[in-house]
Amino acid sequence: MKFSSLLITCLLFLLLVMSTAHAQNEGELVVFAASSLTDAYESIADAFEAEYPGVNVLFNFGGSSTLATQLVQGAPADVFASANDNQMAIVVESNRITEPVHTFAKNRLVLIIPSDNPAEIHSLGELANPGVHLILAAPDVPVRAYTDIMLDRLANDTTYGEAYVQAVLNNIVSEEPNVRQVAAKIALGEADAGIVYLSDITPDIANDVIALPIPDTFNTIATYPIAILDDSTQPELANLFVDFVLSDSGQEILVEWGFASIRGDRSILVVDGEAMNPLALTIDDLRASFSSQTIEVNYIRDNEAIITAFTGVTLWDVLQSAQPNLDGNLINGSPSLNVVMTGIDGQQVAI
């Protein structure tokens, strides 16, 4: 009798634990996500909800800057997925996020034109032609920040220069609150060209636009961070969702929608552009292929002299190994001599 009572008690406890665990995997999860993630995240939500049948993922898609403002002002949410680190940092600085921030995807810029190409645009060069109607995202939208980096590189390139960039800026006829609106307006033929992410060329507009690649020399890698809000009402579900986005299944869905996965990329430094021998180097590659040096650095911090040392390989050695193309590619009859070095965090330097 005592054994029977103990068994029943244990079974009831087990059922209670199972019920509690199951309940933690049920409910609504509110995700604020950049508009460029719309299709990919809706597909991720379908797969996530299939794995956790009691879950309903609710999205608020918009420009990352708009979402960040809403979160800083107290909008309730469980997860924030931004299209750049700057907008995520704004939310972190507001003390709504102290959880780890994870990079979950990467993206690239692309120039799109209507399929009938009324302005006869075939490359970046024609964006400066008089009368071209150009649409970009608004200045506080992440894709515009990446676009401005591209324009800065063009301004510093002898083929294009500051006058070219100013002419391009003069051709802007609209600045949209998010990147999807840029893509939609070009697909509708409301302007001659726009700059969006590669992932924005979705099946519903693929037949209405032509994508023109932006050379690596000028392009930039967009990085997408994700984090859980400290005051999430569904912290367990939020963790499960973030883990799913970072998982092989989540990464495969992102790749299907045109994003670059963070999976399997162990290179900490990529050297390409005008390089005869492009490089993708891991830490082990750097150690094995290049001689390391230690340098002593003196600097002042808070009125105190600091002496420290750094050990690493020289940029010159890596650059020489990549074999810069000193003749350069001819763009509109002029040479471009930039080698692009990209770190594991997506930061780039054009040399």
Please answer whether residues 47 and 257 qualify as being in contact, where contact means their C-beta atoms are separated by less than 8 angstroms.
no
Res 345 pLDDT > 50 = no
- Which of 42-46, 157-161, 165-169, 306-310 bottoms out in mean pLDDT, i.e. has the lowest? 306-310
Instruction: Kindly indicate whether the domain formed by 24-105+224-256 is annotated with CATH number 3.40.190.10.
Output: yes
Residue 160 to residue 148: CA distance in whole angstroms = 15
pLDDT, tens only, 92-102: 999 999 878 99
Please answer whether residues 259 and 307 qualify as being in contact, where contact means their C-beta atoms are separated by less than 8 angstroms.
no
Res 260 pLDDT > 60 = yes
Is pLDDT larger for residue 256 or for residue 347? 256
**φ, ψ (nearest 5 deg) of residue 262:** -90, -5
- Which of 175-179, 299-303, 329-333, 336-340 bottoms out in mean pLDDT, i.e. has the lowest? 329-333
Q: Summarize the confidence of residues 274-288 as an average pLDDT.
A: 69
DSSP-H helix ranges across 52-160: 64-72, 85-93, 142-155
Domain with CATH 3.40.190.10 in the chain: 24-105+224-256, 107-221
Determine what percent of the chain is predicted with pLDDT higher than 90: 64
Res 3 pLDDT > 50 = no
Residue 226 to residue 245: CA distance in whole angstroms = 9
pLDDT at 350: 63
**Strands 221-228 vs 79-81: parallel, antiparallel or unpaired:** antiparallel
pLDDT at 325: 67
Q: What is the CA radius of gyration of the chain?
A: 25
CATH topology of domain 107-221: D-Maltodextrin-Binding Protein; domain 2 (3.40.190)
Q: Which of 265, 262, 284, 268 is nearest to 344 (CA)?
A: 268
Q: Which of 107, 114, 180, 112 is nearest to 141 (CA)?
A: 180
In whole angstroms, what separates CA 216 from the centre of its chain?
Answer: 16
> What tokens appear for 7 in the block?
């068994």
Res 87 pLDDT > 60 = yes
> What tokens appear for 210 in the block?
């032509």
Res 197 pLDDT > 90 = yes
Residue 85 to residue 96: CA distance in whole angstroms = 15
Q: What share of the chain is helix, strand, coil (3-state, %, to 5)?
A: 40, 30, 35
DSSP string of 144-211?
Answer: HHHHHHHHHHHHTSTTTHHHHHHHHHHTEEEEESSHHHHHHHHHTTSSSEEEEEGGG--TTTTTTEEE
Is pLDDT larger for residue 288 or for residue 174? 174
pLDDT, tens only, 100-140: 899 999 999 999 999 999 999 999 999 999 999 999 999 99
pLDDT at 299: 67
Q: What is the mean pLDDT of the chain?
A: 84
pLDDT at 7: 38
How big is the CA angle at 51 (ends 50 and 57), to the nearest 5 degrees? 65
